Amino acid sequence: LVINNPLLDGFVIIDTPGLNDPIVSRGKATKEYLMNCDVVFVVSSVSQFLTSQDIGLISKNLSQESISHAYIIGSKLDDGILQYNRYERSLHNAWNGSLNNFENQAKTELDKLSQHDSSPLITRLRESLPPAFVSAMIYGIAKKMEQGISLDAEEQLVVDNLKRHFSDYNELLSEPSGFYELSGISSVKDRVYGYVRDKKSAIISEKITKYTANQTSELLRLLETIN
């Protein structure tokens, strides 16, 4: 699939089956492929954010040296904000409170796991904290508002729920810019995307160096065996 988007220039993006796919061969193919990736994004819906089962699955399948960078992305942030506290009427408070809860949850789960798993991937996930949080739904709403395009039924329902639930809706979300900020997409671009793109050449160079060193060692071992 090809998308004419300059943001994707130079990247190969793979959407794999899940690691816990009921068809064993698909899960195995995913695991093998991920070992060739430089960067892994662990995406978890905030409605069931980074459960112990999720973390265990990551540790079991991805604890490899080959992954240079790893990031945690909490998706569907709009759901998390609406579920934060039914008595909370301030979007500002629900927003910050939700992020704080999810950040603490991620840290707690990774800290627990690190006590008996010191693999490089777990270390890299801990170093990447706090997670980034996004809402593709909110981002889509912002783009349509900016372009004057009517929202579909699902998007309108999200807007109606936010408007009904939070007293400061008009103050914070009267303009597309408010929705863009709430979506979290720009923070991922600034914090994760830009860094990974800037580091791409260094990542490739490092992997080539490691590969060359490993192959040299293997060749010397074989020559010694032959000798």
Measure CA 153 to chain center.
Answer: 27
- Number of other CB atoms surrounding residue 125 within 10 Å: 28
- Number of other CB atoms surrounding residue 142 within 10 Å: 22
Q: Residues, the chain, total?
A: 227
Q: For residue 27, what pLDDT is reported?
A: 78
Query: What rounded mean pLDDT belongs to the chain?
Result: 85
Average pLDDT (210-224) is 90
Q: For residue 6, what pLDDT is reported?
A: 84
> Do residues 131 and 73 lie in contact, with contact meaning Cβ atoms separated by under 8 Å?
yes
Query: Tens digit of pLDDT for each residue in 30-68?
Result: 777 777 777 778 888 998 888 777 776 676 766 555 666
Q: Give the integer Cα–Cα distance in Å for 30 and 61.
A: 9
pTM > 0.85: no
Q: Give the integer Cα–Cα distance in Å for 22 and 28.
A: 11
Q: For residue 168, what pLDDT is reported?
A: 93
State phi, psi for 5 to the nearest 5 degrees. Answer: -135, 115
Query: Tens digit of pLDDT for each residue in 115-157?
Result: 877 777 778 888 888 999 999 999 999 999 999 999 999 999 9
State phi, psi for 44 to the nearest 5 degrees. Answer: -135, 130
Whether pLDDT at 99 is above 90: yes
Does residue 41 sit in helix, strand or coil?
A: strand
Average pLDDT (86-100) is 92
Q: For residue 167, what pLDDT is reported?
A: 93
Q: For residue 110, what pLDDT is reported?
A: 85
